[in-house]
Structure 1
Amino acid sequence: MSFAADGKPKFDFDIFMKQLRHRKADPIVRYIRSFIHNFSQRHFTTLEQMKTVQDFKDFIFDKLLEYEPFSLMNDDDLGNAKLGIEKLVMTKIYELCYSPAINPNNLDDSHKLDLEIDAEIYSNYIEYSNITADDLEADDELVSMGDEFIKMSINELNKMKLFKSPRAKIICILNSCKILFQLIKSGKQNQNADEFLPLLIYTIFRGQIEELISNLLYIERFQFVKNSEVEYYLVSLNAAAEYVRNLNRERKNLIDV
């Protein structure tokens, strides 16, 4: 198990796949294959998808404790295996679960709503293309001095739609938000975390982040492993997305259209 600069274990999918090829891990492989095959053969509503995936997650995580090499692992290595299962499973059924990737003929009401909200948000990017940091109550000085930080943050958010596993999308969000916090910390001494949300909203607008709600709901519905740091950033990004979505109804008085 390797470790990141912050001391936390790094996810290694290649190690997990080697472990999955262990002779005694064959039952785990069969369970995963069976789930993917059966899931792909049925037409679910979004709620049914969520329940089916979460039920399988609970089932397969219990089974890891019964079969080597997983049954012999410490918590860090077992955590890596759980993330490996998430990536393997969700990559295989991504086109059935991620709203923009689903065949339009197979969209249920919830998946359709995801796309409709994405379209609302994108429409606001266009309608309010001249929005300023001051309009969004973001600190002008931070925005002015942190142009490169904001560009990097935008780049990370735009990477979300390139990945299929919930965790990979989450890493994009973490990277983006941490870049903005780095900008805040490098600013004038009285800057604090209260600057983060307006700066995040400004970043979303400036980057015109596509498929924002679809990505957030995909993560919420199908992530296998949660932690408090991730939840904080997901809540913040959801709040920012909701602000952008409702701007035309609640904040028109701020913008000279």
Structure 2
Amino acid sequence: METTHPLPFDSFLDKMRNPASLDLVRSIKSFIVSFSFNVGNPENDGKRIQDFFLTTEAAIRDHPLWAGSTDEEIDNALEGLEKYVMTKLNSRTFASSAQDVKMDREISEKICLLQTFLRPEHLDIPVVLQNEALWLLAEKELKKINAFKAPREKLLCIMNCCRVINNLLLNASISEDHVPGGADDFLPVLIYVTIKANPPQLHSNLKFIQLYRRQSKLISEAAYYHTNLVSAKSFIVELNAKSLSIEETEFEESMQAARLVNRVPQITSPTIDKISTFGKQTDPGPSTEMHKRKTNINDHHIAILGSAGSNYPYMEAEAGELTVGDVERLLGLYKDVVTKYNSLCNTVRHLSISKTTVSPASEGTNDLLRGHNGTSRDTDCKGE
């Protein structure tokens, strides 16, 4: 598997330390400074950086330091240039718009819901391709994507993930006598791996690579794998019951149950302002036990909170420590928890009844329906 920490960057830095490279160093640093002061616009930014790479490539090819260099040595210098510039400009170019940040959050949240119930058969992945060990390896490669700031290294994470999947398909075709289905086999597995991995800022990473990877390098295998992950992302964004081999009612119930689980309230500690408000409410005063502790109003509420940052602020409290001001908040929390608990129980009970009352005859019908939905899913999967 190709490393994501290449030597060309070190070679590029060594060249830049040479006094003879002063003109190039000044040009690169001047570009970085001027770019940083401009108002961000992803599409314009991408074109501007691509133009700078082309201009600097011409300067490097004509520079005395690279006189007599091979194409590979020139290419290594350009890889080093890309990494240097994009690492310096990462905070300015990566996830640079509010829309990108919003898209990243929405995709991640949807994947979190799908993770609770989605199985390989929902994507019509053949049993012969269901290899948890290799899938886990592919997931780990994809999860590394945010550990790097340069587009080449981010792209390598995608390529390493896809190569694992490609090897899985190849091995299945050899050892299991499975006829490879090309994208019809590859893309569903990539979609499933992506959902299992839930890579951070998926949308922004794909866009960053598209805009800032040198265009002469976003070709062939790299372009194919990048395009497939873009298609996988688009499939996940648009995914609904018709995209999968699953009954629509089962899909909706599973998504609803997942939403309920994900909406369990995480109760945080009151802020200083809220604590001050509590102090102004009608209060008969602390209990005798609290009086013996000689605590003021802030100490009282800190005692009720229990350990710092606790998500269950009344767990450590004693009855005598509560005030009139706490009753309304406690009642609200109680109603909220009971409502969500009843909704979750009803959903789970309905799912259980649905699964236990299916007759063998209806199972056959369901298989036919799943096959029909699977056809729809295959159509949605192809391309972006």
Task: Give the TM-score range, shorter chain.
Answer: 0.7 to 0.9
Taking structure 1 as reference, are residues 138 and 53 closer, same or farther at Cα in structure 2, changes over 3 Å only? same
Give the AA of the match of 1:135: H
Q: What is residue 107 of structure 1 aligned with on the other side?
A: none
Structure 1 position 231 matched with structure 2 position 223: yes
SS of alignment partner, residue 75 of structure 2: helix
Once residues 137 and 124 of structure 1 are traced to their aligned partners in structure 2, the CA distance between those partners, rounded to angstroms, is 20
Out of 224, 240, 250, the position equivalent to 1:248 is 240
Once residues 241 and 54 of structure 2 are traced to their aligned partners in structure 1, the CA distance between those partners, rounded to angstroms, is 41
Pairwise CA distance, 1:20: 1.9
Alignment of 1:45-194 (within 5 A): 45-99=41-95, 102=96, 111-129=97-115, 130-143=117-130, 146-187=131-172, 188-192=176-180, 193=182, 194=184
RMSD over equivalenced CA pairs, Å:
1.9
Out of 186, 195, 202, the position equivalent to 1:205 is 195
Structure 1 position 21 matched with structure 2 position 17: yes
SS of alignment partner, residue 55 of structure 2: helix
Once residues 242 and 86 of structure 2 are traced to their aligned partners in structure 1, the CA distance between those partners, rounded to angstroms, is 37
Q: Percent identity between the aligned chains?
A: 28
How many residue pairs match? The answer is 238
8 Å contact kept, 1:139–1:199? no
Give the AA of the match of 2:106: E
Pairwise CA distance, 1:213: 1.0
Flag the structure with more relative contact order, 1 or 2, with Cα contacts below 8 A and sequence separation at least 6: 1
Taking structure 1 as reference, are residues 137 and 47 closer, same or farther at Cα in structure 2, changes over 3 Å only? same
Taking structure 1 as reference, are residues 249 and 24 closer, same or farther at Cα in structure 2, changes over 3 Å only? farther
Q: Deviations over 1:182-201 (max 9, x none)?
A: 11122222242331111000
Once residues 156 and 30 of structure 2 are traced to their aligned partners in structure 1, the CA distance between those partners, rounded to angstroms, is 29
Pairwise CA distance, 1:252: 6.4
Gapped regions of structure 1 (runs ≥ 5): 103-110
Pairwise CA distance, 1:249: 7.4
Q: Deviations over 1:140-199 (max 9, x none)?
A: 3321xx211111111111100110000000110111000111111222222423311110
8 Å contact kept, 1:125–1:205? yes
8 Å contact kept, 2:121–2:245? no
8 Å contact kept, 2:40–2:92? no
Once residues 189 and 77 of structure 1 are traced to their aligned partners in structure 2, the CA distance between those partners, rounded to angstroms, is 43
Pairwise CA distance, 1:72: 2.7
Once residues 109 and 244 of structure 2 are traced to their aligned partners in structure 1, the CA distance between those partners, rounded to angstroms, is 14
8 Å contact kept, 1:167–1:223? yes
8 Å contact kept, 1:154–1:207? yes
TM-score (norm. length: structure 2): 0.59
Pairwise CA distance, 1:76: 0.5
Taking structure 1 as reference, are residues 36 and 250 closer, same or farther at Cα in structure 2, changes over 3 Å only? farther
8 Å contact kept, 2:86–2:150? yes
TM-score (norm. length: structure 1): 0.86
Once residues 199 and 109 of structure 2 are traced to their aligned partners in structure 1, the CA distance between those partners, rounded to angstroms, is 12
Once residues 48 and 113 of structure 1 are traced to their aligned partners in structure 2, the CA distance between those partners, rounded to angstroms, is 16
SS of alignment partner, residue 242 of structure 1: helix
Once residues 196 and 48 of structure 2 are traced to their aligned partners in structure 1, the CA distance between those partners, rounded to angstroms, is 37
Once residues 212 and 250 of structure 1 are traced to their aligned partners in structure 2, the CA distance between those partners, rounded to angstroms, is 23
Larger radius of gyration: 2
Taking structure 1 as reference, are residues 16 and 28 closer, same or farther at Cα in structure 2, changes over 3 Å only? same
Q: Which moved more, 1:119-128 or 1:61-70?
A: 119-128
Once residues 22 and 249 of structure 1 are traced to their aligned partners in structure 2, the CA distance between those partners, rounded to angstroms, is 61
Gapped regions of structure 2 (runs ≥ 5): 255-384
Taking structure 1 as reference, are residues 250 and 28 closer, same or farther at Cα in structure 2, changes over 3 Å only? farther
Q: Which moved more, 1:37-46 or 1:115-124?
A: 115-124
Out of 187, 201, 219, the position equivalent to 2:209 is 219
Once residues 70 and 46 of structure 1 are traced to their aligned partners in structure 2, the CA distance between those partners, rounded to angstroms, is 32
Pairwise CA distance, 1:241: 0.8
